[in-house]
Chains A and B, each alone.
Chain A
Amino acid sequence: MNHHRRLQLTKDGRLRHFIAIEGLPRAILMSILDTAEGFTSVANQSVKKVPLLRGKTIVNLFFESSTRTRTTFEVAAKRLSADVINFNISTSSASKGESLLDTLRNLEAMQTDMFVVRHDASGAAHFIAQQVAPHVSVINAGDGCHAHPTQAMLDMFTIRRHFGEFAPLNVAIVGDLLHSRVARSQIHALTTLQVNEVRVIGPKTLIPKGIDQMGVHVYHDMRAGLRDVDVVIMLRLQRERMHGAFIPSEHEYFQSYGLTPERLAYAKPHAIVMHPGPINRGVEIDSAVADGAQSVILEQVTNGIAVRMAVMALTMGSYAAQGEA
């Protein structure tokens, strides 16, 4: 949407905040992937650091605990030589006392240059980006069921490394689309990068209304949905979803939508299997697939660092460039 675009890009079209994939032009997504490619070599250095963000302060502002995601952002920031401060605020304590806005003002007063935000409410990163001072960048590390754009970009990076191009690919996203911020960002990224087809597969209880308007085809059957697919993206099934009566049991879910070697055989022979992690073995994916030759799940984790470095460097650099102009 235009709103997203206005907020995320500077006047001269550089990436200022990274809140959502939606609304970003293809060229920006490609520049993230290209820049990330450049950062992959840093891991080979004996000093695994580049001095790009030396003297900058990055605050990891996590209102929803996630050690994994926070750690990858922290590693990315440190490899860019930035100073990193971690703030874990459980929403319960936040609601007791100061408002989100107050928390933000306080941290901003400590000369913060970037916020990496995770929050359980959709739109939280967007809200924060609207509030921060002009020199501060905001990166969305996951907001509610809305977006998780860096995860989507590392998935695109992984796909590009395997196939080289996006145009001929058929991609299937399987599982709990209803609650998945990752899936929404992936869909926007895949359609912006113009893959051949994006499919979503799941029971009707987990496929949100009107998702077809995001440019995807909806399937409720794995066999039909996986046919001729190049990339299979499995989504994590949150255990707590069972209490909401979205599925009757993990067992029955696995029977219908679990990715087994037999089901994977419906896809193209060279198809890769992805998962944003952490995986539930035996719930959404069989161990034989998760650990199998077609799985690129660990590559995704590795690529996550370079992609996050790229997003941090690009957003921080945009203000600098703006000042020059």
Chain B
Amino acid sequence: MRIRIHGGRLIDPAHQVDTTTDIYIADGHVVALGHAPSGFHTDQEIDATGRIVCPGLIDMHARLREPGAEHKGTILSETRAAAAAGVTTLCCPPDTQPIIDTPAVAELIRERAAVAGYVKVLTLGALSKGLEGVQISEMKALRDAGCVGVSNAWRPIANTLVMRRAMEYAATFDLPIFLHAEDPYLYAEGCAHEGAISTRLGLVGIPEIAETIAVARDLALVQETGARAHFCQLSTARGMELVLAAQAQGLPVTADVSAHQLHLTEMDIGDYNSLCHVRPPLRTQRDRDALRRSLTRGVAICSAHQPHEPDAKAGPYAETEPGIAGLESLLPLTLRLVDEGVLSLRDAIASLTAHPARILGITGGTLAVGTAADICVFDPKREWRLADHMLSQGRNTPFLHWDMHGKVTHTLLQGRVVYRES
């Protein structure tokens, strides 16, 4: 299949490209930009006039719910939603059921994703056996089975000695560690940012220091062990500050932020809006503003996609399950930052393409000639609402009725159109 995407504005932050040009695709790869290579016969034309053509989005963190929680979502349903969201690569954490602590589970997920054929699915392996935080996992086997890193998801490694050994071992095999920085004792089963709002609503608060203490501990261990560490979904200004300061000192650490943390604050909980029940919790406006500022420093934006069945969100706030079905709002929420003057369009796209590719250590996130033709085409002007288009099995999002700008029209995975707006 040979495809020409013509007339679009090509933005490829990895190579500082921002120009209106045509893209030629053959055998799953980008074969030329601007002029057709000799002998190129187009099988399919995609008119991208007035649209933006960028590398397919790379989502650092999305739960597909399979295996184990298919009533919330399946690999098929969620990867289909991902394709509609312009995502061509996503990374899923190990807290499936069974847990990804053996190569077999990692292979199962990737195979099913390959059969579905919508996006490339990467997996993180478990950092500890059964995510129990006691015994380190068979990291080398997990790496050999294709896991791009190891993580304990939201399960704590309370024992600092275990964390030290896990980092040492991961560093031995140069496997990055993905951390959810949260001190389990300070977290204390809380469900909202500790402050005036959690006090008013009578909700158990999660203090800012639950994150900063965990970040500080793990940074000290990184310094000690030389492990590569990635901090997932940071929620506080101080936590992010610590990571970026360590990075500036040369430590091999990176960070991402979930798209919803860049728009919502604790105020949005209002009167127990369970759709705003997330982990880490929505923080203060000061935190949100600091997270926004960090985006010019190589921080990635992820969806933190967590689809739920309606029952999971129907109950008293603290008893509902945390998480937002965020895949399909990932791009429009990032573009909203451009509208609000927080980021340039190029930086916005970089935070969804080049930065995550670099952090995950994968090729991709670029449209240079010779790379895989994972491409997202979107209409930056189009106004739409999630409520009318959502494909994820979970409709648990506080953004359901927001006016969104920027709608994906085509997604190509390795030169194949996997989504076309109908």
Q: Are any A and B Cβ atoms less than 8 Å apart in their complex? A: yes
Chain A residues packing against B (C-beta within 8 Å): 1, 3-4, 7, 22, 99-101, 119, 121-124, 126-127, 143-147, 181, 184, 208-211, 213-214
Measured CA separation A213–B196 after assembly (Å): 6
Does B270 touch A at the CB level, under 8 Å? Answer: yes
Measured CA separation A104–B198 after assembly (Å): 27
CB distance from A146 to the nearest CB of B (A): 3
A121 touches B318 (CB 8 A): yes
* A145-B202 contact given A7-B271, A213-B196, CB 8 Å threshold: yes
B271 touches A121 (CB 8 A): no
Q: Which residues of A are found within 8 Å of B317, using beta-carbon distances?
A: 121-123, 127
* A122-B197 contact given A1-B271, A99-B311, A101-B314, CB 8 Å threshold: no
Measured CA separation A4–B200 after assembly (Å): 12
Q: Which residues of B are found within 8 Å of A214, using beta-carbon distances?
A: 196, 199-200
Measured CA separation A32–B202 after assembly (Å): 24
CB distance from B273 to the nearest CB of A (A): 9
Q: Which residues of A are found within 8 Å of B311, using beta-carbon distances?
A: 99, 101
* A123-B199 contact given A100-B315, A143-B316, CB 8 Å threshold: no
Question: Please, which residue of chain A has its CB at the minimum distance from the CB of B199?
Answer: A208
CB distance from A136 to the nearest CB of B (A): 17
A101 touches B200 (CB 8 A): no
Name which of B194, B198, B201 has the most chain A CB atoms within 10 A of its CB: B201
A122 touches B271 (CB 8 A): no
Binary flags per residue of B197-210, CB closer than 8 Å to A gives 1, else 0: 11111111101000
CB distance from A213 to the nearest CB of B (A): 4
B318 touches A144 (CB 8 A): yes
Q: Which residues of A are found within 8 Å of B380, using beta-carbon distances?
A: none
B199 touches A209 (CB 8 A): yes
CB distance from A147 to the nearest CB of B (A): 7
> How many chain B residues touch A (Cβ–Cβ < 8 Å)?
23
Does B402 touch A at the CB level, under 8 Å? Answer: no
B198 touches A209 (CB 8 A): yes
Contact among A7, A99, A181 for B202, CB-based, below 8 A = A181
Binary flags per residue of B310-353, CB closer than 8 Å to A gives 1, else 0: 01001111110000000000000000000000000000000000
A123 touches B201 (CB 8 A): yes
Binary flags per residue of B206-232, CB closer than 8 Å to A gives 1, else 0: 010000000000000000000000000
Q: Which residues of B are found within 8 Å of A147, using beta-carbon distances?
A: 202
Within 8 A of A (CB), among B149-194: 194
B202 touches A210 (CB 8 A): no
Q: Which residues of B are found within 8 Å of A119, using beta-carbon distances?
A: 316
* A4-B271 contact given A121-B319, A122-B201, A210-B199, CB 8 Å threshold: yes
Does B67 touch A at the CB level, under 8 Å? Answer: no
Q: Which residues of B are found within 8 Å of A121, using beta-carbon distances?
A: 315-319
Measured CA separation A147–B197 after assembly (Å): 14
Measured CA separation A122–B197 after assembly (Å): 13
B318 touches A211 (CB 8 A): no
CB distance from A268 to the nearest CB of B (A): 29
Can you sample 28 A-B contacts with CB below 8 Å?
A1-B270, A7-B271, A22-B200, A99-B314, A99-B315, A100-B315, A100-B316, A101-B311, A101-B314, A121-B318, A121-B319, A122-B202, A123-B201, A123-B202, A123-B317, A123-B318, A124-B316, A126-B316, A144-B316, A145-B203, A184-B200, A208-B205, A209-B196, A209-B205, A210-B196, A210-B197, A211-B196, A213-B196
A123 touches B196 (CB 8 A): no
The 10 closest A-B pairs by CB, nearest first: A210-B196, A146-B202, A145-B202, A121-B316, A3-B271, A123-B272, A122-B202, A124-B316, A213-B196, A208-B199
CB distance from B62 to the nearest CB of A (A): 27
Measured CA separation A99–B198 after assembly (Å): 25
CB distance from B76 to the nearest CB of A (A): 27
Does B146 touch A at the CB level, under 8 Å? Answer: no
Question: Please, which residue of chain B has its CB at the minimum distance from the CB of A119?
Answer: B316
Q: Which residues of A are found within 8 Å of B318, using beta-carbon distances?
A: 121-123, 144
B195 touches A210 (CB 8 A): yes
Question: Please, which residue of chain B has its CB at the minimum distance from the CB of A146?
Answer: B202
CB distance from A288 to the nearest CB of B (A): 33
Q: Which residues of A are found within 8 Å of B203, using beta-carbon distances?
A: 122-123, 144-146
Name which of B195, B202, B311, B317 has the most chain A CB atoms within 10 A of its CB: B202
Contact among B194, B196, B204, B272 for A126, CB-based, below 8 A = B272
Question: Please, which residue of chain A has its CB at the minimum distance from the CB of B188?
Answer: A244
Measured CA separation A148–B375 after assembly (Å): 55
Binary flags per residue of B341-385, CB closer than 8 Å to A gives 1, else 0: 000000000000000000000000000000000000000000000
